[in-house]
Each structure stands twice: as structure tokens, then as C-alpha cells.
Chain A
Amino acid sequence: MPASLVQNESIVAIDVGAAVTRAVMFDVVEGQYRFVASGQAPSTAEAPFNDIGIGVREAIINLQNVMGTTLLGPQDNNLIAPSQPDGTGVDAVVATVSAGPTVKTVVVGLLSDVSVQSARRLAESTYSRIVETLDLSDHRKPDQQMDSIVRSRPDLVVLAGGTDGGASRSIQKMLEAVGLACYLMPMEKRPMVLYAGNQKLANDVQEMLGGHAGKLQISYNVRPSLDTEDLAPASYELASLVMKLRQRQIKGIEELNLWAAGNVLPTAYAGGRMIRFLSKLYESTRGLLSVNVGAAATSVAAGFAGELTLGVYPQFGLGENLAGILQYTEVEDILRWLQLDIAPNTLREYLFQKSLYPAAIPATVDEQAIMQAIARQALYLSVRTAQKDFPIGAHASRTGLMPPLDLILGGGGALSDGTSLGQSLLLLLDGIQPVGIMPVLLDQNNLLPLLGAASSRNQYLPVQVIESGAFIGLGTVVSVIASANYGDQVLRAKLTYSDGTETRAEVKFGGLEILPLPTGESAKLSLQPLRRADAGLGPGKSGTVTVTGGALGVIIDARGRPLQFPSDPVRRRELIKKWHYTVGG
């Protein structure tokens, strides 16, 4: 149905996370779509419940309680749709899902630095863990490759390779290994296969794999030519294939899909779709960065001139995979974020014990500090991993630094459950370590993916909801890059408010400064760097920019890029305490 005909419908958006299920109501208020309310409940994908429907209904009941309306039928406990004249029910449902085991994925391509990289990027745009990679440089015999696939027991195979009309014999060999491996697996365990290679071979692929794969999806080529990569169409097919896999794995997805008339998407895909859309809509000249630190995964979506880079990292999720982070980082790298004096072994045991109970939440101040430190490192690792796949145009001023951004948006349990907005901001600054001048927003109700899912139902809804202030503006961040010693003055800043009053700050290297500027207000910020520091205008360059306010105001982060910590642990902990104090404790 065209959007114009359905623009006044109320929509319940449901997100089934690994730990929490949320139900959110979007409705038209004074002619504009608004985020109305949300309800949440623990997710029930895992045993002993094994049915997401239980958590979904509980979240909807909590939403009903908040709104004082009835959405579920009293007799059958089913959603009342469409909305009734008596005010009960809802017109439409959309949904996103991140719950479920990590998708074990085999990546197959021809050239290890061309099609294999595209297939890997495609696989990493969903909740997958790559368990095996096959390419032309693999010197194993075909039967060894086949056995390796069988042993890895994949849920998904992503096949790419060959430009359109290009190489075909080599791909056919790969298809043979994949086809035979599928044939050798029990029927109910055969993997889903996504083919996104040379389109000329589509019929051969159908013939060789159609009868053996759990489900075969043929998509557009991710590498139509050697120097072109186009992941978007294949990403959509992959998202749809992952939802089919989830239907096979998790009870209740099928019912949710019926409620949503097929509008159920992987959470990260839906969030990425919104970032691509916003990047185009706001004609972002630099980039938009969205991060989501959740139990299922940490995901990073970056939009540069309408081009999306989406990385989903279950290995950096804060749920059941928590202990797995130690395969990618040292305990000391997590400890560096902590203001507490904790032995490395204590933290190691903490990670293993917490991964037994992914849905549990920190009850003490110390445990909250530990979880926030882990979240910082998970975000830091995720952003650095995703950055490798940013488009060539997204230049960083120096190796190892982030490219300049127009906006940062944070979401996910670790950020939205933060005890204060200042803590959430500091987590984002520590994990991302942005450079330049940019506003930072917090998606406290984790709406972004739900807006992405709703956009296929109603194109006006996401824009209207965002413009109604659904995200919390934390403030404008100015990051200062300097070669200086701790305590050296690196910047003079002056904030001139609309009424002509001024606030000044002498910013020292290693510190954080906050200049108050309330939400909804803008002001002129004059920056005068010292010692050739770069405050976002270029090394040593002074200037005045217009900045917008937020819950914290204007935050000048002169802690250096990359962030440096004192080697003395006592001094480091004192410094971290000071940073926390500066953002509000």
C-alpha cells in the first residue's frame, strides 16, 4: 500500500534482543508521527522458555500498562489489529530480531583480497562468526575443503567470486565443494547458501546447490567489476536469509512475522538501513556513525555520502560471548578503563562468570563500573575493526585515528542503561575516540533499528519521529589533537550565547572541559589552539563555529588521540575518576 494511504496508522515496533525484548508505540500526534511509549521484558528465545512470543507479549503488556490502552485480546492474548473504534489495538506491526545463536558462516570466494573480502564484509553485516574461508589460494584438495566445511557445521555459506561474465571454472570448483558438503550433512542441518558472484553462473548455481542447500538465495554480484563493490542488494538478501534461519532456530519468529506481515529484519540491518537513509537525507559531507553496544553483538554503522559500512561483531557482544573478548584483547586493555583497583585474574573470572548469565544486570556500583569498562573495550575494538572497511574517501588525518564525522549516535543496552547521560557520553568518547567537532546523540530507547524496520511500512515515520526529538542530544564534542605534555595548555575556547553572554575555558592537555549549553540552544564557539593543536579546524587553525547544545553542553575533549593513559596505575585511576567527575559522576 502506498505510504500516503497508510500514513496515519499506529505502529507497534518490536525488538527481540538477546537479553531484552522491547515494544514501542509510534503514533500520529498533532499531524506528526511521534514515539509515544515503550514497554520491555526479558527476552525468552533461550531455554527454558524457548519461545520469543512469551517475552514479546510481556513487553506489549508493559507497553499497555504505560499507555493505559489495550493491545492484546483478552481472550486469545493475540494482538488486536487493526485498531478498533474503541481505541484498542494497533494498525500495524514491524519487528527486528538480534536474539539467537551466532550464525556460523563459511565464506567462499576467488581472490583473497577481492571477492573474499567482499564476501567477508557481507557476512559481517549480520550476526555471523566466520568459521571457514575458501579461496583460490587454498591449496587443500577439494575433498579436504569439503570435509572442513562439514566439520565446521555452518548455518550459512556466503559465496562470491568472478566479475559478471568473468571467471566461471574456478567458481564451479568452489560450488562443487560446497554442494558436496551440503549433500553430506543431515537434511535438517544443511546450511543456507547466499550466492552473490558472477551472475552468468546463476543457473549453474541453482542446478548444483538448489537441491542440497538448506535454502539457496541468488543475489546480485557483490563485485560486478574488479574495482566496484556493491553490497547493498546482497545485504538485503542476507538479512532475509538470516530471518529464515532464525525461523528454523527459534520458536515464535514465525508468529511475529505474521503479525508484522513479513516486516521482520535483523536488528543491525534495520539500524544500518536508517544510517544510510539519514546520511543521504541530511547530505552528510563527512560521515554519520551509529554504534550499538548490546548483548547479542556490538554493531557499527557508518554512512559516508549515502554509502553504508555495517559491521556486526557478536564476538564483542556483552552477552553469552562475553568471555570470548579475551581472544581479541588482553585483560589489561579492559582494566585501563577502570577507576577500581582490580586484579587481572579477578576480571578474567568475572568475564567467564558473567557470560553464564547474559541477561543479568549489575546490581552494585563496582559491577556497573566493570561492565562499563568492558563495554568501552568492546566498542573500541568494534570501531577499529569496522574502520578497516570504511570507504577510501573517509580519510583520517593520521593513521590510527578516526575520520572526521558529522554526527555520532549511540544505542544498545550498555549505553541506554547507563546510570547517567554523562557516563554514556564518556563511554562513547572513550570507545570511539572521535576527532573534529560533532554533535553526539543517545538513542536511549533503542529506536534506530525500529525506525529502520518501520521505514519500509511508512517512509514519513522515521523522519518525523527523529525530528520530534526522539534521540537525546548529549551535546557537541570538540576533540583536540595535540603533541603536548599532560597539563600543557592547548586551547582557548570562548562560547558566546545568543544573549551575548560568554563563557571561556583555558583547556589543558589530558583534560575534559564542559561549557554549559542547554538542549535546543545554539551558540558561537571560538577556538584558538595553542602549540599547533588541532581542534577540528586544522593544525594550529583558529576559528568560530556554531554549535548546538545538549544535556551536557559543549564538551572539549583534550585527552589526546589516541587516548593516552599514565603508566602509573594509581595516577591512571585518579585521572579516570576525574574524567567521570567532569561528566557528572
Chain B
Amino acid sequence: MLAPMLHVLPLTTIVRERLLPVAGKVNARVNQRVNPTDVIAEANFAREHVLLDVARTFGVSAIAADKMIKVNTGDRLTEGALVAEKSGVFARTIKAPRAGRVMVVGSGQVLMEVGDARIELRAGLPGMVTQVIPERGVVIRTAGTLVQGVWGNGRIDNGLMVRLLQKPDDILSADQLDVSLRGSVILGGHVRDADTLKAAAELPVRGLIISSLLSSLLVPAYQMRYPILVLDGFGTLPMNSAAFKLLTTNDKREATVNAEHFDRYSGNRPEVIIPLPISTEPDEPNTYQAFAVGQTVRMRRPPNAGMIGAISNLRPGLSLLPSGLRARAADVKLENGETVIVPLVNLEVVG
């Protein structure tokens, strides 16, 4: 049976697509070295559209109205610019209600896009541009530590990572966040109140990497302007030991927190990247592999949710679980020496 992977890797090659949500202009070029804050692509997009019904306003047929329209597709108009004109005794005009661009003209109507918004896409991680995707973005390649999580609030930033947890089950509270942490990426434990999120915003921090979050804090977490990355899930879960060991040993290193949403179809996951210097490029990690004895695995569900262990035996056929269900299962030796039976669908391979 095939196993999904959770990447918790001290050194690996990381290849990430960075794409605009709409078509735009790509500023970066192949083989260019980029820093996390470099704007690699930008786009303008219309927030709204305005439909001017010339035929209806002038009370004429669509064919007649088309002849009265004075603008063409693609024209940029200022507010108040003439759009259509009806001559004669009862001359009338239609003017652009707002500045914008003419999208399409026809059937006695003019469609304009207005309310331009600008998107700047930052590189998000340091590395080399290996591919340019025309009008959309780039592919960036780098090497370093990679730790994936399960939830992110959709933001990305980078900064010096400062460790504020001593044990995997520590709680991060507002009183730990003092002014010396301004501009840092905070490595914390469990967050159980909105005050902690607000205190981090007030500094402000450049990111929050935490073990778990109460689900009642999802709304304020989305509102924060800095990235929040949850490594293990909702409730009061401690940080899994693999991520804890790796991240705490990287204290005071530059880290990129890409707290993008977990998209189960594209495979995009929230993650921390800590760039490291290399002499030889390491291999790219697998995205999945077959379950095998010796693999390090993380338990996804109770009774040992979040714990790390190693597969000591793949059981043949179906095993009877304490729940009464039957499923393919493995014997997993936990870090405390205990061996437990876990259904394979409740495991992910760490690596």
C-alpha cells in the first residue's frame, strides 16, 4: 500500500512554484538568484465591472446603439470620459462613471473593468529561478531544512526564527512576546487564546510556527497579517518530536514561513523552509512511497495522534482494531519503546 509523506527533513532540495492568481508580468528570469522579499511577478486586476447599456439608456436598438459608442475594446478611460453619444434635438451622452478599461463592446453595451488592484508576488524563499511560467510566475529551487504542517492562514513571510518553547507541549502566551521579538519568526507551542495572536500582531512578528491551535481561534488567525503555521492540528496537541527536534536545533536561523492553505488536490501544504548552504545538492524528497518496515511514521489519529515511531512489522491481511473495524495495519514502535498496532490509513511516512 502506498503511503503519503510528511516532509520533516534536515537537508533537502526544495522546488516550489510561485504563481500569480491572475495573468500578469513576470519580472524574474531563469538562473536569477532571488531573495524572499524580491517581487518576482506583478499583476493588475479589476475588482469590479461596470456594464453600460447604451441601447437601453438611449432607447434605441442594439445595432443603432453600437454606432453611437465612441470607445473601443482595450481603451483606457478616465472618469467622465465620453463613452457614447446620441446626436439630434435631444442629444444625450453616456460618460464613464469611473476610471477603467473597456473590456468588450457590442450588442449596444459597453463593459468596463474598474477599481484596479495590484498584486505583487514575492519570491517567498531564497533560491535560484529555474523556470519562468509566462504571465504567471516562476519555479524556484533551493536547499535547506523543510518542515511541513497541516494548516496555514494563507500568508507568507520570512525572518529570524526564535525559539519560545522548551518542551513539545508548551503553551505560547501573550506575556512571552516582548519587543525584542519584533520582526522575528516565533517558534511556539500550543496557542489557546486570541490575545497571543494579537500580541504577536502588535509587535509585529514575521511569522508564528505553532504545534496546535484551538479551532475557535481560526477566525482571528485568518485576520492576522503575519503567517501562522500549525504543525500538528487543532485542539491541544504537542509538537511532533520530529519537527520539534529539527526546528529547535535551527534556532536563530533565517526561516521562511509559507502558511499557504493545505490543498488536498494540488498537494500544496503550509511549510517552513530554512535555507542552508550546500556543497552538493541533496535529492528532492519523494511525495509518496510504499509502506515498508523501518520507515519513520507519524500517527495521524488517536490514541497516539502526533507521535512518531518506526514500522517494525507490516501485518498480513486485515487486522482487528480495538474499535472493532478491520483494516490493513502495521506494528509501530513508538519513541517510548511501546509497540502499537496502527491502521496504515492513519499513518504518514516522515521523510
Q: Using a CB–CB distance below 8 Å, which chain A residues touch chain B?
A: 41-42, 44-50, 54, 58, 101, 141-143, 146-147, 150, 180, 183-184, 186, 249-250, 320, 323, 345-346, 348-354, 356-368, 417, 419-420
Contact = CB atoms under 8 A, between A and B. Distances in A.
B329 to A, nearest CB: 9
A-B complex: 10 closest residue pairs judged by Cβ atoms: A47-B267, A419-B324, A349-B235, A48-B287, A368-B323, A352-B234, A143-B51, A352-B215, A46-B264, A362-B323
Contacts of A141: 51
Contact of B150 (A54, A356, A364): A356
A47 B348 CA distance: 13
Given A49-B288, A249-B265, A363 B322 contact: yes
Interface string B100-113: 00011000000100
A54 B268 CA distance: 20
Interface in B274-327: 287-288, 300-303, 305, 321-325, 327
18 contacts: A42-B2, A47-B264, A47-B287, A48-B5, A49-B2, A49-B288, A50-B265, A54-B2, A143-B50, A323-B215, A352-B218, A352-B234, A360-B300, A362-B321, A363-B301, A363-B303, A364-B303, A420-B324
A367 B216 contact: no
A320 B301 CA distance: 15
Nearest to A100: B265
Given A180-B51, A357-B346, A50 B2 contact: no
B235 A367 contact: no
A186 B103 contact: no
Given A186-B22, A186-B23, A363 B346 contact: yes
B324 A368 contact: yes
Contact of B302 (A147, A249, A367): A367
Contact of A360 (B48, B236, B322, B346): B346
A47 B265 CA distance: 5
Contacts, number: 137
A209 B236 CA distance: 51
Interface string B223-234: 000000000011
Nearest to B5: A48
A353 B237 CA distance: 10
B126 interface: no
A84 B324 CA distance: 40
B234 A42 contact: no
B264 A419 contact: no
Contacts of A50: 265, 267
Contacts of B268: 47
Contact of A48 (B151, B234, B262, B267): B267
Contacts of A44: 2
B234 A143 contact: no
Interface of B: 1-2, 4-5, 22-23, 48-51, 53, 103-104, 111, 150-151, 214-216, 218, 233-237, 262-268, 287-288, 300-303, 305, 321-325, 327, 342-343, 345-346
Given A47-B266, A180-B111, A368-B323, A58 B1 contact: yes
Given A142-B51, A146-B51, A362 B111 contact: no
A299 to B, nearest CB: 21
Contacts of A417: 325
B346 to A, nearest CB: 5
B215 A349 contact: yes
A353 B265 contact: no
Contacts of B343: 360-361, 363
A359 B323 CA distance: 16
A585 B293 CA distance: 36
Contact of B322 (A358, A359, A365): A365
B233 A353 contact: yes
A492 to B, nearest CB: 35
Contacts of A366: 302
Given A46-B264, A48-B288, A363-B346, 11 more contacts: A42-B345, A47-B265, A146-B49, A348-B215, A353-B233, A356-B151, A356-B233, A357-B346, A362-B321, A364-B322, A365-B324
B115 to A, nearest CB: 10
A363 B346 CA distance: 9
Nearest to B218: A352
Contacts of A184: 49, 103
Contacts of A249: 265
Contacts of B218: 352
Nearest to A142: B51
B218 to A, nearest CB: 8
Contact of B325 (A41, A354, A419): A419
Q: Max chain A CB contacts within 10 Å: which of B103, B303, B321?
A: B321
Nearest to A349: B235
B326 to A, nearest CB: 9
B325 A368 contact: yes
A421 to B, nearest CB: 12
A143 B47 CA distance: 12
Contacts of A146: 49, 51
Nearest to A369: B323
B194 to A, nearest CB: 15
A360 B150 contact: no
A512 B324 CA distance: 23
Contacts of A48: 4-5, 267, 287-288
Given A349-B215, A349-B234, A368-B323, A360 B301 contact: yes
